[in-house]
Amino acid sequence: MEKSLNLVFVATFAIAALLQSSFAQRDYVVGDALGWVIPSTPSTYATWAANKTFRVGDTLVFNFANGRHDVVKVTRANYDSCNAGNPLLMLSSSPANVTLNETGSHYFICGFTGHCGAGQILAINVSAAVSSPAPQPSPRPQPTTPPASSPVPFAPAPTPQGGSPSPSPSPVSGPTRSPMTYIVGDTSGWTVPPSGASFYQTWANGKNFMVGDILVFNYATGAHDVLEVSRASYQQCNSSNPILNLTTPPTRVTLRTTGEHYYICGVTGHCTAGQQLAINVSSSSTATPPSSATPPSSTSGPTPPNNPSTPSPAGDNNNGTPPTPGAASLTVAGLSATFVSLIVAVFV
């Protein structure tokens, strides 16, 4: 018994030490799934950082498409004026990892023309690292004798009553619902999606668009626009002769007719990078995805797949593989399970 209790204490100390080291430093993926892109609203990255505590030793991970963005660490004055000259640090390969090695304020912008002014900026404050106190040993458990179990009287199952149960009533469809407002892309807004061509079709899947509903496109003024186009123009990412051309955010589009509707961004390269949306509008409570929206070929535009893949947290068409969140926690959990198995084996 003495040897078994010693093994318990050793396992307890080892698990506590692993947990302490796992929480000593953290990796923060800037913008999470959105990545490091031109955001739909200028306050996107300030909102992302607002509820986080950054400490010395932590790492910022910037995910973006190589050649379309970069990461420039600048002074407060250059941050305020969106000036990428004389940078403190410049990284152009994704993912860009920045280790926070000193306390105080840190400022980051994208050095591409117009990107900082459109909201691709981040300001954070870094605090000193916190060292956790050493774990205290728990008192030795005293062996106890389990109480004798009392017999439980057997209760016979109730005898079923004669006759079959009454069938449940069939659901009755209710009246047509009131018009709804949909924010296109939700918190990501209307932008070049970081996960590629499937992003907006994934967002639309499962939604029941009806006549009277409203689509709201959120984006930075001058960085994007909203064009409603024909099916052929949608397939070819052709922005000429649009059915509708809107340039002022937030753009509200009321769905007035049934059938298929197609939307793209007319800024060069944005549609082919996945900034496009195809939906089917119904007048009833049941809607189906667009049946005739044949995905464009790889040479003429993006391919909205029938079975969209799960968006990955990367920049605009990012080819880099972002770090997998939670890997350290999984490692600690696995080691902890090993210690627990050892303890159980000793007791058995």
* pLDDT digit string (tens) for the chain, length 348 residues: 555 555 555 555 555 555 444 456 899 999 999 999 999 999 999 999 999 999 999 999 999 999 999 999 999 999 999 999 999 999 999 999 999 999 999 999 999 999 999 999 999 999 998 765 545 555 555 555 555 544 444 444 444 444 444 444 444 444 467 899 999 999 999 999 987 778 999 999 999 999 999 999 999 999 999 999 999 999 999 999 999 999 999 999 999 999 999 999 999 999 999 999 999 999 865 444 564 444 444 334 444 444 444 444 444 444 444 444 444 444 444 555 555 555 555 555
State the DSSP string of 155-181. -PPPPPPSSPPPPPPPP---PPPPP-E
How does pLDDT run across 112-168, given as a tens digit for each residue? 999 999 999 999 999 998 765 545 555 555 555 555 544 444 444 444 444 444 444
For residue 214, the SS3 value is: strand
Question: Pseudo-torsion of CA 315, 128, 101, 18, nearest 10°?
Answer: -80
Residue 163 C-beta-side C-alpha neighbours within 13 Å: 4
Other residues' Cβ atoms within 10 Å of the Cβ of residue 20: 14
How does pLDDT run across 81-102, given as a tens digit for each residue? 999 999 999 999 999 999 999 9
Tokens for 249, please give them: 């955010």
Tokens for 204, please give them: 């639309």
Residue 115 gets the label, from left (phi > 0), alpha (psi -120 to 50) or beta, of: alpha
